Amino acid sequence: MKVLLVGAGAREHALAQSLRRNPLVELHAAMPHANPGIKAYAKSSIIASADDIGAISLYAKSIRPVLAVFGPETPLVAGAVDVLEEQGIPCFGPRKALARLEGSKSFCRGLLAKHGITGNPRFRSFATPDGLEDYLELLGPCVVKADGLAGGKGVRVWGDHLHSTADALKFARSVIAGGSAVVVEEKLEGEEFSLMSISDGKTLVDCPAVQDHKRAFEGDAGPNTGGMGAYSMPDHSLPFLNSHDLKAAHAITEKVMKALEKETGSPYKGVLYGGFMATAQGVRLLEYNCRFGDPEAMNALGVMETDFAYLALAVAQQRLAEFDVKFAPLATVCRYLVPNGYPDAAQKGGEITINPTALSSSGASLYYASVEERSGKLLALGSRAIAVLGKGESLEEARKKAAAGINAVKGQLFSRQDIGTQALVQKRVSHMAQLRKK
Ligand code: AMP
Ligand code: GLY
């Protein structure tokens, strides 16, 4: 069973591991850099940037895989699935028209609004500055988002980056001047969670809910990052959610899955990852991603009991209903080690060493991200370097394992020690309880 995997992060290393658990899988990888973890699982690989559809398609022609699995959003938004499906290759990942859900924030908000799906905050999209100032004054505390993919850098939040309507106006105008539309929305108060749902266009199966930590430093301080680490619980909910929240989030995603097919004529095959916020008024949608989260993929795949290769093929062939998708009732804590200076001035080229005995006795799993082997040395390339996943019967057990795994890695790196601690989880629970009391 030849499978082509696209991407080179820790998420894709985890995908490679899950795919290779099936002994029939022969893995081939198209990677933007030579991820040593993926290479170890792959029979062959090429270096290709994630949006180089020409290179990916040529490689697919030479391999003739029975399935292509996509990690990152870039190839999906660029239309790689359309090209591979044209070649007769079933894909785990949505076509271009469907990946717009992540690729365009105004498309996403507009889809929910058009189909009467709850979950949007008050919002408006602007392609020109006409009416912008009036709307910002009406909203007060707001969030301003550049419409397209901006690698997490296109969003400005009131209180963090924006301190007045004038600030918001200035940023929104600069985005429009740069040629992009802008989405302006009401600032919501609550706790964020990621609900990744696997969709074949007909059936929708949720992964355990996960909470990511976007800020670089402990106590949620510092700049936003791709995600410094995430945890999940044995009951697959999160301690600050009530019994309605996950059902409400699932219902939103299910309606979005159906609305997307109505809009585009194609079924959504792959992951619908909703970034939600639990608020005192109920669950609200922040954004959709058209792929697994990173680090959230490690949390979810780390406890997936169902054969992922067969599952992904079933998604591509719209047979998901045949599967009883199971996740082990375990807690997970995933922590990223990132180069000093990350994200604004990350050191590049620092050597990383891993103590295999310490890693193995920690019981944690390690995933390579932005690292490469050169002359026998493991070097950091300048983005998130290594992810470590701990699993256990309790969150504390998972956290301890992850911490022991982190200690097996040495280099000019840092990580957030507070992820999965009781203190941090309690802070989230108290915050939600306080909002719900108001
Ligand atoms: P997005 O890329 O749309 O998920 O936005 C990035 C981050 O901005 C989210 O993870 C939230 O922390 C924050 N954010 C986005 N939209 C809102 C909103 N309407 N209210 C409050 N915070 C938001
Ligand atoms: N961890 C956030 C993301 O994958 O978008």
Q: Model confidence over 174-186: pLDDT tens digits?
A: 999 999 999 999 9
Query: Is residue 435 in some structural domain?
Result: no
Report the atom number in ligand 1 closest to the C-alpha of 152: 2
Do 77 and 131 lie in one domain? The reply is no
Which phi and psi (to 5°) does residue 366 adopt? -120, 140
Do 140 and 60 lie in one domain? The reply is no
CA distance 21 to 6: 18
Residue 296 C-alpha to ligand 2 middle, in angstroms? 7
CA distance 351 to 411: 6
Do 282 and 378 lie in one domain? The reply is yes
State the greatest distance between any 2 C-alpha atoms of the chain, in Å, as a whole number: 62
At 57, which CATH number? 3.40.50.20
Query: Is residue 377 in some structural domain?
Result: yes
Q: Would you state the pLDDT for residue 113?
A: 98
Domain count, the chain: 3
Domain that holds residue 180: 122-186
Is the predicted pLDDT of residue 243 greater than 90, yes or no? no
For 357-377, the pLDDT digits (tens) are 999 999 999 999 999 999 999
Q: What is the DSSP string of 177-245?
A: HTT--EEEEEPP-SEEEEEEEEE-SS-EEEPPPBEE--EEEGGGEEEE-S-SEEEE-TTSS-TT--TTH
Report the atom number in ligand 2 closest to the C-alpha of 294: 4
- Bridge-partner residues for 331, per DSSP? 392
Query: Is residue 290 in some structural domain?
Result: yes
Query: Is residue 431 in some structural domain?
Result: no
Short-list 114, 436, 124, 118, CA closest to 284? 118
Query: Is residue 109 in some structural domain?
Result: no
Do 236 and 305 lie in one domain? The reply is yes
Residue 66 C-alpha to ligand 1 middle, in angstroms? 37
Do 302 and 245 lie in one domain? The reply is yes
CA distance 371 to 353: 11
Identify whether the C-beta of residue 333 lies closer than 8 Å to the C-beta of residue 363.
no
Average pLDDT along the chain: 97
CB within 8 A of 48, min separation 6: which ones? 30, 31, 32, 55, 56, 59
Residue 150 C-alpha to ligand 1 middle, in angstroms? 13
Do 231 and 336 lie in one domain? The reply is yes
Report the atom number in ligand 1 closest to the C-alpha of 145: 3
Identify whether the C-beta of residue 139 lies closer than 8 Å to the C-beta of residue 122.
yes
Q: Is the pTM of this model over 0.95?
A: yes
pLDDT band at 314 (very low <50, low <70, confident <90, very high): very high
Do 223 and 136 lie in one domain? The reply is no
Do 78 and 207 lie in one domain? The reply is no
Do 268 and 365 lie in one domain? The reply is yes
Q: Choose one of 139, 162, 186: the last residue of a domain.
A: 186
Q: Would you state the pLDDT for residue 152?
A: 67
Do 339 and 225 lie in one domain? The reply is yes
